[in-house]
Chain A
Amino acid sequence: MNMTVKDRPKKKQTETKKTPIVNVENVYKVNQLNLWYGEDHALKDINLDIPEKQVTAIIGPSGCGKSTFIKTLNRMVETVPSVKVSGGIQYRNQNIFQPSYKVEELRTQVGMVFQKPNPFPKSIYENVVYGPKIHGIRDKKTLDKIVEKSLRGAAIWEEVKDRLNENAYGLSGGQQQRLCIARCLAIEPDVILMDEPTSALDPISTLKVEELVQELKKDYSIIIVTHNMQQAARISDKTAFFLTGEVVEFSNTNELFSNPADKRTEDYITGRFG
C-alpha cells in the first residue's frame, strides 16, 4: 500500500488512543484523485486509505477542498455540472467511477450528513423512513422498527418518541442534526460521511454529536470533515490534513497532533495560520 502520503516510522505507541495496526480493512482506497471545477484544480493527487470502523477526520483551512473531497466519496460532487475527475476511488474494491457503477447503489452504502441540518419539511417519522421507502420497504411494522432503531442510534429517541408525527422543523438545530443522522442510519449504511456536522450547532449539541460519533464507529466507518482541530483530536482515529487541495499529512490522530511530520501541519495545528 503506497497510499498514505507520509508513512513515518511509528515512534511513540504509548498514547491512550492507539489504533490496532493488525488487519485493518480499508473501506476506501483513493488513488491519484484529481478534481477540477471548470479550470479550478480543487483536488490534487490525493492518495488515502480509509480504514473500516474508525473515525477518519479531514482537517484544513477553509477552501482547501475538504467538502469537495468527501462529496467525491459518494459522488455528490457531480451535482456541480462543471466538475471533472481523474484518478480512482475504490469503495470496497470497486471503482466508483467506472461507467457500470450505479451511483444510487453507492449512496445506499455511503450515507451523508451535511453541514447545515437539512431535514425534509415532513414529520419526524417520515424523515427517518425516507431512505427505506425509496428503497422499496413498505411494511409498516418494519418501518416502525427502523424508526425506533435509527432514532435510538442517533441518541434522539427519548426526545422525540412522543412526537414522531410532528414536523421536523419544530426541532432545535441540534435535534435536527441528530435527526439527519438517524435518517442516514435508517438505510443501514456501511460508511457515514459528515461534512462539518457540528459547525451550525451550539456547544452542548456539538458535544452530543461528538459522543454519538464515538458510539457509531462501533458499527460504521465514519469520515468527518471539521475545521475544529480540537474536535478532530477528540474524536478521530486517523486524521488527514488538507491544504490547497493536497493531502499534506495523513496519519494516526495522536501522532499527527503530537508529532507532526510536516512543517505546514505543525504551523496549522499550532494555530500559526488557517
Chain B
Amino acid sequence: MNLVNKEQVKKKMASRLFTNRILQGLLLLATLFGLIVLGVLIYRMTTQGIGYLSLDFFTNFASRFPEQAGIKAAIVGTLWLMAVTIPVSLILGVGTALYLEEYAPKNRFTRIIQVNIANLAGVPSIVFGLLGLTIFVRLAEMGQSVLAGGYTLSLLILPVIVVASQEALRSVPKEMRDASYAMGATKWQTIQRVVLPASIPGILTGSILAFSRAIGETAPLIVIGALTYVAFLPENLYSGFTAMPIQIYNWATRPQIEFQELAAAGIIILLLMLIILNSIAVLIRNKFQKRY
C-alpha cells in the first residue's frame, strides 16, 4: 500500500525541473538588467568625460570657460564635508545604537524612539536640508559653512547608521555576552571587548554605505546654501564651500555641450571617490575579521 504514487511523481518531475530552469533564467535577466544599465552609464560617462580628465581639471577652480574649468574646489569641499560628517555621524550613530541596544530599558519610551529612528531613515533629504538651515545655519549661527553642511549630512545619515549598527550589535550571540558577564565583566567591558569587536564589520558596512550616500547628496546642501561658483578653498570649518554633486549639477544644467562633458568628468571622479571609500571599508572589514 503506497500512498505516494510513483508514476505521478515521475510525470511531475520534468515540469518541476523545467520551472526551475525558467526561473533561474529570469532571475539572471533581472540581475543583468541592473548591470547592463550601469555598464552603459559608465561607458557614456567615460567617453564623454575622459577628454577633460587632465591635471588641470584637478588643479583649476570653476570657470566660465569650459576648457579652463576644474573641480578643485568641489573635491576639497567634499573632503572637508566628509571630515566633519564621518566622525560626527559615526560617534553619534554608534553611540545611539549602543545605548538603545545595550543600556536602554526595554520600555515604551525606548520603543517610540526606535520607531522614530526607523522612520527618519525614510525622510526625504531635502527635509534634512531645511532642518540644517533652521538649526545650524540660522539658530546656531554657523552660516553657510562647511560645519553646517557637515552637520546636516550627519543628521541625514544618522538614522541609517543607527539602524545598521543596532542590527550588527543584535547579531552578536548571547553566549558571547554571557561568557563575558559570567566572568565578572561590567556592561561596558563586555561592550568594549566582546560586542564591539564582533559587530564592527557590520557597523562599518552599514556606515560606509551611508557615507556614500552623503557624498552624493545635493539637495540638502543647496538648501543650506552651498556655493555653486567657488574660486577659493575652505580655510576652516566656517568657510563657505561647494561639493562634488553641486558642481556636477551646476555643469549639467548648462546648455553648452562642453559643460555636459565636464559634468561627465566630474561624475567619473565622484564614482572613483566612492570606489575608494568602499575599498577602505572592505579593507577595514577584512582586517577585523582576520583578528578572530
Residues of A within 8 A of B (CB): 74, 76, 79, 81, 104-108, 111-112, 114, 116, 118-122, 130-131, 133-135, 167, 169, 180, 183-184, 187
* Contact among B175, B178, B183, B194 with A108 in the assembled complex (CB-CB below 8 Å): B183
Encode contact with A along B149-180: 1 for CB under 8 Å, 0 otherwise: 00000000000000000000000011111111
Question: Tally of A-B residue pairs with Cβ under 8 A?
Answer: 65
Verify A184–B183 contact, CB threshold 8 A. Answer: yes
Question: Is the beta-carbon distance between B193 and A134 smaller than 8 angstroms?
Answer: yes
Q: Cβ of A112 and Cβ of B182 under 8 Å apart? A: yes
Docked-complex contact A74 and B175, CB < 8 angstroms: no
Cα separation A167 to B179 with both chains bound (whole Å):
17
CA distance A107 to B184 in the complex (A): 5
Contacts of A119 in B (CB 8 A): 179
Q: Residue on A with the closest CB to B179? A: A118
User: Which parts of B190-229 form the interface with A (CB within 8 Å)?
Assistant: 193-194, 198
Contacts of B186 in A (CB 8 A): 104, 134
Interface of B is mostly: helix
Contact present for B182 and A107 (CB under 8 Å): yes
Distance in angstroms from A25 CB to nearest chain B CB is 23
Closest 9 interchain pairs by CB?
A107-B184, A108-B184, A121-B292, A118-B175, A112-B182, A131-B183, A104-B184, A134-B185, A118-B179
Instruction: Enumerate B263-292 residues with CB–CB distance to A below 8 Å.
Output: 291-292
Chain A hits for B182, CB < 8 A: 74, 76, 107, 111-112, 114
Residues of chain B touching chain A, judged by Cβ–Cβ distance below 8 Å, are 106, 173-186, 189, 193-194, 198, 291-292
Residues of B within 8 A of A81 (CB): 106
Contacts of B175 in A (CB 8 A): 114, 116, 118
Residue of B176, B181, B183, B193 with most partner-chain A CB within 10 A: B183
Best-buried of A76, A104, A106, A167 by chain B (most CB within 10 Å): A104
20 contacts between A and B (CB under 8 A): A74-B182, A79-B174, A79-B177, A79-B178, A79-B181, A107-B182, A107-B184, A108-B183, A108-B184, A111-B182, A114-B175, A119-B179, A131-B184, A134-B183, A134-B186, A134-B189, A134-B193, A180-B179, A183-B179, A187-B184
Q: How far is the CA of A133 from the CA of B189 in the complex (A)?
A: 10
Contact partners of A133 in chain B: CB under 8 A: 193
- In the complex, chain B residues whose CB is within 8 Å of the CB of A180: 179
> Known contacts being A114-B179, A121-B198, A167-B292, is A135 close to B184, with CB within 8 Å?
yes
